[in-house]
């Protein structure tokens, strides 16, 4: 995402609802813009499937104070263990890219009205455009070469 859009994710060291969940702050030109939470691995208490949801939309409050975005991506990828990371198949990568497209649609908006900020108030067919756009990069050899390696052999 940094190479494509010039945005930067910085991991945040905070305690979350599960030890395998993580949080990243999104910076643009060194300015904090939003926070993204990732909860990617399957566990017995979690609903199946994958989705992005918005916790907070970008807006101005009644005093004109800027409220920043937050969003989360939930997936059910294979659980990591003490001896192996979460091992993704290609269709898992496509899913993650798809949900990241939804998250970026939400997190990169600059609209100030809560009801139409980010993914709010967008028709479903239009909501799926950014997700499918980012998803398409999961089929690009140059993109896959950046991270798609066998965890043992490289």
Of these residues, 99, 113, 123, 135, which one is catalytic?
A: 99
- CB-closest chain residue to Zn ion: 131
Asked whether the beta carbons of 52 and 72 are under 8 A apart, the reply is yes
- Minimum distance between the CB of residue 126 and Zn ion, rounded to whole angstroms? 11
70 binds Zn ion (CB under 5 A): no
Report the b/e string of 60-96 with b at 16+ CB within 10 A. Answer: eeeeeeeeebbbbbbbbbeeeeeeeebebeeebbbbb
Minimum distance, C-beta of residue 116 to Zn ion, in the bound complex (Å): 19
Interaction pattern, residues 113-142, with Zn ion; x per rule: CB under 5 A: ------------------x-----------
Q: How far apart are CA 57 and CA 104, in angstroms?
A: 12
Cβ atoms 52, 99 nearer than 8 A = yes
Nearest-approach distance from CB 141 to Zn ion, in angstroms: 24
Footprint on this chain of Zn ion (rule: CB under 5 A): 131
């Amino acid at each position: 995402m940094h190479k494509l859009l010039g945005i930067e994710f910085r991991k945040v060291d905070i305690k979350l609802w599960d030890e395998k969940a993580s949080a990243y702050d999104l910076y643009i030109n060194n300015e904090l813009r939003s926070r993204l939470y990732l909860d990617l691995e399957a566990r017995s208490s979690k609903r199946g499937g994958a989705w992005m949801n918005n916790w907070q939309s970008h807006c101005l409050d009644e005093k004109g104070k800027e409220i920043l975005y937050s969003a989360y991506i939930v997936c059910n990828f294979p659980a990591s263990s003490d001896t192996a990371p979460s091992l993704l198949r290609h269709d898992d990568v496509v899913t993650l890219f798809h949900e990241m497209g939804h998250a970026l649609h939400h997190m990169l908006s600059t609209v100030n009205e809560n009801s139409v900020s980010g993914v709010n108030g967008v028709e479903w067919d239009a909501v799926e455009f950014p997700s499918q756009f980012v998803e398409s990069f999961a089929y690009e050899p140059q993109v896959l070469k950046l991270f798609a390696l066998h965890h043992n052999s490289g």
